[in-house]
Structure 1
Amino acid sequence: MRNILLLFSLTFFLNSFGQTSVLNSLLKTHVSAKGNVNYKALKKEESKLNTYLDYLNKTKPQKNWSATKKKAFWVNAYNAYTLKIILNNYPIKSILKIKQKGKDAWNIPFAKIGGKTHTLNHIEHKILRKYFNDPKIHVGVNCASGSCPQLGNFAFTEANYERKTDMLIKKFINDPKRNKISENKLELSKIFKWFKGDFTKKGSLINFLNKYSATKIDEKAKISFLKYDWSLNGK
């Protein structure tokens, strides 16, 4: 019996690793170093993305998984299904153009994970944000838009999640197209307005930004927010 359980565990591990490698390969091939997606080319390999989505539909996160492994799984799922809904409607200029029965892209129930159907909003707000006290989730998940933190050209794993999200949040905060930072004046992404509570659980917003900002920000710096660019993050 013990040998059967070990064999099952090994088989599940290899399948999980293999499927994550499929997503990793697709992202590496079709996403630039700046996070721009070649949707036209990705569309030609949609069957590979579907293989990964089939794996998600058959896989339920286990209670014995570490928090980091769970986050990597759910962030990958969010991003894979975001790519899928774009491909389902491609060519398209903005994710905002996607509507189905009066619902926008984030509220369409189509993401099948572990035999259950979710919306993108449910994954982000009712799973990732609800159960994990991790503001870096906001640079992990990607909204397929110009002002969104760039989509990484890799899949997340238990081993790389912390390192990769650290890299992405540094890039995001110090990217002058997404955040304009000086010592006494901040023009920030609206992500910091919409989800301010996620970034201020352990101090002020400026305290959080100073962990990653290349420019030291004064605590009394003036804060305003930039217009959000919802144009497709296409190549």
Structure 2
Amino acid sequence: MTPFNRRGLITAGVGLMAGLSTTPALAQSPSRFTGRQAGRATADHAAFDALLARRARNSRDGVVRVDYAGWRGSAADRTALTRYIDALSALDPLSLTRPEQFAYWANLYNAATIRVVLDAWPVRSIRDIRSSLLVAGPWKKTVVRVGGVDLSLDDIEHEILRKGWSDARVHYAVNCASFSCPNLPLRAWRGAALGPALDAAARAYVNHPRGVTLDGSSLTVSSIYKWYAVDFGGTDARVIAHLSRHAAAPLAARLGSIDRIAADTYNWAINATTGN
């Protein structure tokens, strides 16, 4: 979730031939995972389910928070997270069905983000974990290796998920360990019923104040809708139309009279449980 990234989407996938190219440049690039190649396999996410059940919970304010302190202090849970990430990294994602591929990459992103935070804990914001002296945030550092390709969080989100699926709901699937980010799911993503699950995540975010706030006729939105406006249609009107599709009836009615976005905001405070 690198902020202020306004790169446009490329049509879903760079094509099967590009995804399977044997040229060294593409073979070592995230682009090899963005083609339409798919198999029939599924991945096992039960270990991530168990960790989320123990260490993540929905707070009263509607934000899913993570017990990073407790997780950091549990050698067993840290080991279990690493084993889960290693197990995913050892799979060939192209052997999975297309919905399972999406779930695979979203779960890998979320699990790797949690591990990045745990390795640096305690931190007040994920942006305090730097990729380099000049780059705030961990998003450009290599976090996993899949199929011989070193991948950063940015690679997974922008080069694989956004380019491979061209679906704005990508932004509701990945969690950047921050208050204003769409919620970390309390159960790992699955290919089965993926569409309805992503729609539910979109509704939860759009109908929460950190997604959309109206003060009279003044509309303030999460900065996600500004940073990635191209994913949501590219104009204020199209972003508002996206919001309206996922808004509950009272909010949708109010959005019907709005034609521009007045402001955007984002809170990078860590999404930790109280007392961390």
Query: Bigger shift: 157-166 or 129-138?
Result: 157-166
Match among 69, 77, 94 for residue 108 of structure 2: 77
Describe the superposition over 1:97-147 as per-residue Cα deviations: whole angstroms up to 9, x where unpaired: 112433430001122223422010011111000110211110100110111
Match among 28, 32, 48 for residue 23 of structure 1: 48
Partner of residue 90, structure 2: 58
121 and 71 in structure 1: CA distance in 2 versus 1, 3 angstrom threshold: same
Q: 1:146 is aligned with what amino acid?
A: F
Query: Bigger shift: 179-188 or 88-97?
Result: 179-188
What is the distance in 1 between the residues matched to 2:88 and 2:146?
A: 5
Shift of 1:162: 1.7
When normalised by structure 2's length, the TM-score is 0.74
Is 1:126 matched up with 2:159? yes
Where in structure 1 do 4 or more consecutive aligned residues deviate above 6 Å? none
Is 1:148 matched up with 2:186? no
Q: How many pairs does the alignment contain? A: 221
- Please report the RMSD computed on the Cα atoms of aligned residues, expressed in angstroms: 2.2
Where in structure 2 are there 5+ consecutive unaligned residues?
A: 1-38
Partner of residue 149, structure 2: 116
Would you say the 8 A contact 2:244–2:256 is kept in 1? no
Partner of residue 98, structure 1: 129
Identity %: 28
What is the distance in 1 between the residues matched to 2:52 and 2:164?
A: 27
Partner of residue 238, structure 2: 204
Q: Secondary structure at the match of 2:246?
A: coil
Q: Secondary structure at the match of 1:149?
A: coil
When normalised by structure 1's length, the TM-score is 0.86
Describe the superposition over 1:69-107 as per-residue Cα deviations: whole angstroms up to 9, x where unpaired: 111110001001000100010111111111243343000
What is the distance in 1 between the residues matched to 2:192 and 2:163?
A: 22
183 and 71 in structure 1: CA distance in 2 versus 1, 3 angstrom threshold: farther
Would you say the 8 A contact 2:162–2:170 is kept in 1? yes
Where in structure 1 are there 5+ consecutive unaligned residues?
A: 1-8
